[in-house]
Amino acid sequence: MIFRRSKQVEVEDEPEIEYVLFQGPLNGVQPNLAANAKLAQAALVPTKELITDAILRRAEMIRLDPKGNAAVVRLYVDGVPYPAARMPRQQGTAVTQMIKLLSGLDIKERNAGQAGGLNAEHESVKYQLKVQVAPGDGAERLIVRIENLKTRPEKPEDLGFSQTMRDKLRERTTDHPGAVFCCGPGGSGVTTTTFGILRALDPYTRTILTLGDTEGRKLIAMNPFEWEASEGLERGIQRVLRIEPNVLFVDPVRDAETAKLLFKYSDTVSFVGELPAKDVATGVQQLVQWTGDTNVVAEGLNALVSPKLIRKLCEKCKQVFKPNPKAIAKLGLPPETHVLFRPPRPPVAGTPEADAWVPCHKCGGIGYLGRTGIFEILEMSPGMKDVVRAGGSPQQIRQQMKADGMQLFQKEALRLVAEGVTALEEVQRVFQQPAA
Ligand SMILES: [Zn+2]
């Protein structure tokens, strides 16, 4: 494990590790450490070590899986898994139990999935740890998601929205009524993108109201509309329409009934929300299936947006190289691209270079630091309306997107390569990933 030296060194040759501080479960159920003294004695320090190590390595997720006699820990940094501590199975179980206890979960229950979380602090930075346990292989599997509350990207430009994209979203959302949905596989940033769309709108010239759960996000000049779920969504929409809003934010659409209801009012107001579909083309199909009417979707849908996350090269250690002009042309990069960037290659283990190698202090030697979004936007152009009305397949929908020059992942990714934001090998990795 890698530990940074503590700032509060008391004895010079014995630096103390600054461990993470646990500050109580999110559900308010105070853990009874006294009643679980044996567990705390065995597992509190290893648990602190594990979480501290993950934070120092910039991991956004920890996975602990029991395997044979061991518990295998992997740390996910910018979406990529790295092997971390390997501990005896028994210790893995103790750490899992400890995290459950600290999260206010039931430690006696080991056969049903549980979810919760806790507040934490490390080097004066506040974190929220979201905890998930699931039964598996005779012992529980543990997932801890680490969220740095200060660096959570919120602004459209931080998410990777280009100016062109923001203009397009404004036009598609506020110029005429209709639905704008965001879709994509889990973990691709769909929720963040949905709020990014709302933030890209101009709240001072448009009335934007929320009927959905904003999960504690602060949305400037956007007002929650007071309504009770018990009165039904339709009644809520009818009441909110009296205020004549331009845009309504709604909770994720998960069934035919809700989809039909929103499309019933899609000629009066703009809706923004999430749609469970792996990409924009299957999103159209899902809506057609739910509404049972291709015309309704062709007329009521304004746009579908889908994000993908891609790692950004570390500015400190990225390396420049001269690409082959033929490769530039083949990839479709702009012909004026003379140089590209890539992460540094660590020397081969066992060589003198490897012994002398000092990993970059900024990215820890990974070569990438943080992620940005790339986006596909399906717009309901006249040509797309025809394809949707005719019940077009996902393939035909994609063809139409290309024909109309809509924003596509591949083009967006190559733009970032040409700008030196990311590397070709990262683009390959992202596109080879199986859809979750
Ligand atoms: Zn670096």
> What's the CATH number where 417 sits?
3.40.50.300
Angle made by CA atoms 85, 91, 94, in degrees to the nearest 5: 120
Residue 282 has what pLDDT?
Answer: 96
Q: Tell me, in angstroms, the distance from the centre of ligand 1 to residue 427's CA.
A: 18
Residue 5 has what pLDDT?
Answer: 42
In a domain, 325, yes or no: no
Residue 207 has what pLDDT?
Answer: 87
Whether 125 and 171 share a structural domain = no
Distances (CA, A) of 116 to 26, 92, 125, 217, 356: 7, 19, 21, 19, 44
In a domain, 335, yes or no: no
What six digits make up the tokens of 402? 């290309």
Name 327's Cβ contacts closer than 8 Å, sequence gap at least 6: none
Whether 103 and 204 share a structural domain = no
Name 43's Cβ contacts closer than 8 Å, sequence gap at least 6: 91, 94, 95, 97, 98
Q: Tell me, in angstroms, the distance from the centre of ligand 1 to residue 343's CA.
A: 8
Buried b (16+ CB within 10 A) or exposed e, 75-113: bbbbbeeeebbebebebbbbbbbbbbbbbbbebeebeee
Residue 355 has what pLDDT?
Answer: 83
pLDDT tens, position by position, 8-19: 444 455 567 799
Q: Tell me, in angstroms, the distance from the centre of ligand 1 to residue 359's CA.
A: 8
In a domain, 340, yes or no: no
In a domain, 360, yes or no: no
Angle made by CA atoms 243, 246, 250, in degrees to the nearest 5: 90
Q: Burial-class residue 412 by CB neighbours within 10 Å (0-12, 13-18, 19+).
A: buried
Residue 140 has what pLDDT?
Answer: 93
* All residues with CB under 5 Å from ion ligand 1: 314, 316-317, 360, 362-363
Whether 378 and 281 share a structural domain = yes
Q: The domain spanning residue 58 has which CATH number?
A: 3.30.450.90
Among 108, 126, 148, give the residue marking a domain's end. Answer: 148
Q: Greatest CA separation found in the chain?
A: 76
Q: Tell me, in angstroms, the distance from the centre of ligand 1 to residue 9's CA.
A: 27
State the Cα–Cα distance between residues 39 and 243, nearest whole angstrom.
57
Whether 78 and 187 share a structural domain = no
Please identify which residue in the block is written with the tokens 């940033």: 189
Q: Is the dihedral of CA 9, 14, 20, 24 positive or negative?
A: negative
Q: Tell me, in angstroms, the distance from the centre of ligand 1 to residue 7's CA.
A: 23
Q: Tell me, in angstroms, the distance from the centre of ligand 1 to residue 319's CA.
A: 10
Residue 13 has what pLDDT?
Answer: 57
Domains in the chain, number? 2
Q: Tell me, in angstroms, the distance from the centre of ligand 1 to residue 76's CA.
A: 17
Tell me if 23 sits within 8 A of 129, measured CB to CB.
no
In a domain, 279, yes or no: yes
Q: Tell me, in angstroms, the distance from the centre of ligand 1 to residue 56's CA.
A: 15
Whether 168 and 96 share a structural domain = no
Q: Tell me, in angstroms, the distance from the centre of ligand 1 to residue 361's CA.
A: 6
Name 362's Cβ contacts closer than 8 Å, sequence gap at least 6: 314, 315, 316, 317, 369
Q: Is the dihedral of CA 51, 160, 306, 155 positive or negative?
A: positive
Whether 142 and 168 share a structural domain = no
In a domain, 14, yes or no: no
Whether 260 and 399 share a structural domain = yes
Range of the domain at 132: 21-148
SS3 63: strand
In a domain, 406, yes or no: yes
Q: Tell me, in angstroms, the distance from the centre of ligand 1 to residue 311's CA.
A: 12
What residues of the chain score a pLDDT lower than 50?
Answer: 1-11, 435-436
